[in-house]
Structure 1
């Protein structure tokens, strides 16, 4: 898990300091671009952007002015370029032999170090909204963001950084190449990753706004939770972010958020010890006890008497439902609970039959389920077989489920056919007559007898 800090090397101040006095004068709100400055820009800029490797399909350009270094007498000419489908730039073209420097219009829109209007601010019509030039980079990042506000953070020799406040409520740090190119890597990291006291930090969104995503993730999880508190846990190398939430009901979760902002999974605090030492807002031991009690109640309500002694959530996404394996202190077999939030319908499948619903038990031993299958055989008139082994075969398109069983007496076993909706046995087919079902019997003892 990590938080992010980046050092930036800014050089605009040095350029501002060398500007000619004429360029330092305050600009009107919308300066008029003269034909002469536009003609000079359109003549010079195409070669400059090619030499500088700037990603710009030139739509418009102007010469802003010139400055002369008082010590070296070296002259620098400044140009503004508007680029189709990309961020506009201001280019500082020095003497022959020196590489041009490029700054985004967003960077040059900031006031000069003395607080006066920036003489290098972009004024071409195509650069009227500098935010628009960042949209292709936002789209490439895959993050959901319509920028309401943007703050330039400067650039290093390799990266250009911007802070974004999004209409959707989130805040991000956008990192592009320097100068920005759409064929280079683009990343957008949530503001919550950055230390508020660090060199690179977010100022357009506060901590409460950055944590508001927790409410959305909790809602997406379908888990009943009146939110009490929220906290950021950390980020993984995969790009996933982790948040902790505590609930008024006493339980808590860790929420895993995918790079695209969607919920990946919600992890009970009782199962979250592997993440930075587990939950801090909720007492995990107390949570385990309380959660076990809750699952006991839910199982009883679903018609499955189980005093829950252990449980393990399944990482599946069933909207509005929670899937949990249950181990019981009052019975040797366990079950798979599918519990609905609120007043929805819940169900528990015992471990003898749960694989027919694609859920395999791991908290209890397979043999604990065999008495259930023995009872299923008796229910369809096969009373002489005590089940000693079993395997789930599968479910057909017409919703018939099959489980192969072996018998303790060493005689050939059976395929038990189930009606999946009610999970009731319909018939038992002796292995010698079941060769046409999924390849027939394969359990040890059954294969040679069938």
Structure 2
């Protein structure tokens, strides 16, 4: 698993770069119709110059301020606030000499004013709820949220996004990274359990953030009442987050979700070492409980197996979504691996030994390939005698659970055959030359295999 810290490479602005508003007085200007009329007249050109998406509904000319250019000259800046018919409002700063218009939205201005009351904040009635523009952006990630407060946390320049924290009416909020031009990516939601340091949530309690995972935990295990939760890691290759869930009165587990908190998969704590392990559930207890659970699931196959260990090898990416589980038990000499269907599925379990697993290009952990090759040496000697196995090529699964193999001998003899279901002999085995002459569906593929030249009068069978 390729895991990386979520905030790796993220650089927040340590200090906000403010325009002319920094020099304005703390008191908001008293609204008058002349300044409103001038603001309405100036707004369209300033909106166009700033490049912000805004169809103006109201505007107000705040006044002039001064700032110094890079060469030390003092220039006047014209400052206008606008309210947009859709989306948030803005404060626009225009440098008449250069024509450059800088902008910050009202949520950013509100946050800067909260940190330093000398900063301008939006005062038009239409901008009073400066955070309302975030609600439609948040809905795809949190359908129940109506944003009731928000603050600007800073700009992530390398990602061309602004980061905001939002609070919801009666429920947990979160963080959202909103792209700015020329970035056209979708906004990125961040759960408060992930947010740390300067980005830690202040509108959402740890309990609220934890309870946000309750519906996901129910999908993983219906009986779990979430008591604790924490974010473990993000797998950037899978675009997945991993959370530990602590359940009231029973062992917890790990859930895998999308970054937008859509449930994907469940893992028990015995499988969590690679991503930091569980803190809310004893690992040895989890291992014993999980082993018992997987042993019980194996009963559907009817195979004898006293399970001493098991390994979940993966989950089918499509179709039946069955888990591939390898079991260790003394009754199954050649190993046991089973495709187990999920609970409630009508799919059937599929049983394989390690001969079949290797033929399907999947290795076993409890029965090494070397042990399988040794058995092939025993079987070929029983069938052809004059063969010390040099190499075995497992070709696939044949009829009646046979395994198709190619065997290369040290004396250049070579054979293809079907190992019987019992793995105690061959259903059929022929020399490479015979398989070729008779155009068998399986052929010798190992370079040089079957090139043995028999003495005069003998056959290469």
TM-score (structure 2 length as normaliser): 0.66
Alpha carbons of structure 1 residues 370 and 440: separation in structure 2 relative to 1, 3 Å? same
After superposing the two structures, state which structure 1 stretch, 208-217 or 63-72, moved more: 63-72
> Partners in 2 of 1:161 and 1:24 — Cα distance?
31
| Shift, 1:96, TM fit | 4.3
Secondary structure of 2:193's aligned partner: helix
Give the superposed CA RMSD: 5.4
Alpha carbons of structure 1 residues 405 and 85: separation in structure 2 relative to 1, 3 Å? farther
> Partners in 1 of 2:325 and 2:78 — Cα distance?
68
Q: Give yes or no for contact 2:228–2:247 (8 Å, CA) kept in 1.
A: no
Alpha carbons of structure 1 residues 384 and 248: separation in structure 2 relative to 1, 3 Å? farther
Q: How does 1:199-348 map to 2 (within 5 A)?
A: 199-212=198-211, 214-218=213-217, 226=224, 229-236=227-234, 238=236, 240-246=240-246, 251-259=251-259, 261-263=261-263, 265-276=265-276, 278-317=277-316, 321-342=322-343, 345-348=348-351
**Which residue in the other structure is 2:21 paired with?**
15
| Shift, 1:349, TM fit | 2.0
Which blocks of at least 5 consecutive residues in structure 1 are unaligned?
none
> Partners in 1 of 2:37 and 2:402 — Cα distance?
81
Q: Deviations over 1:63-91 (max 9, x none)?
A: 51234669999865332356798754221
Alpha carbons of structure 1 residues 13 and 294: separation in structure 2 relative to 1, 3 Å? same
> How many equivalent residue pairs?
417
Secondary structure of 1:315's aligned partner: strand
Which blocks of at least 5 consecutive residues in structure 2 are unaligned?
69-73, 452-459
Q: Deviations over 1:224-270 (max 9, x none)?
A: 86456442243347364221135679654333334454456544322
TM-score (structure 1 length as normaliser): 0.68
Q: Deviations over 1:373-432 (max 9, x none)?
A: 899x99xxx984699675432469x9998621549998753332999xxx9x99636344
| Shift, 1:110, TM fit | 7.3
Alpha carbons of structure 1 residues 225 and 205: separation in structure 2 relative to 1, 3 Å? same
> Partners in 2 of 1:251 and 1:64 — Cα distance?
60
Does residue 174 in structure 1 map to residue 192 in structure 2?
no
State which of 363, 366, 384 in structure 1 corresponds to 2:366.
Answer: 363
Q: Which has the higher contact order (CA 8 A, sep 6+)?
A: 1
State which of 352, 356, 360 in structure 2 corresponds to 1:353.
Answer: 356
> Partners in 2 of 1:366 and 1:70 — Cα distance?
78
**Which residue in the other structure is 1:92 paired with?**
93
Q: Give yes or no for contact 2:355–2:403 (8 Å, CA) kept in 1.
A: no
Secondary structure of 2:339's aligned partner: strand
Q: Give yes or no for contact 2:12–2:154 (8 Å, CA) kept in 1.
A: no
Q: Give yes or no for contact 2:253–2:269 (8 Å, CA) kept in 1.
A: yes
| Shift, 1:361, TM fit | 1.8
Secondary structure of 1:231's aligned partner: strand
Alpha carbons of structure 1 residues 372 and 245: separation in structure 2 relative to 1, 3 Å? farther
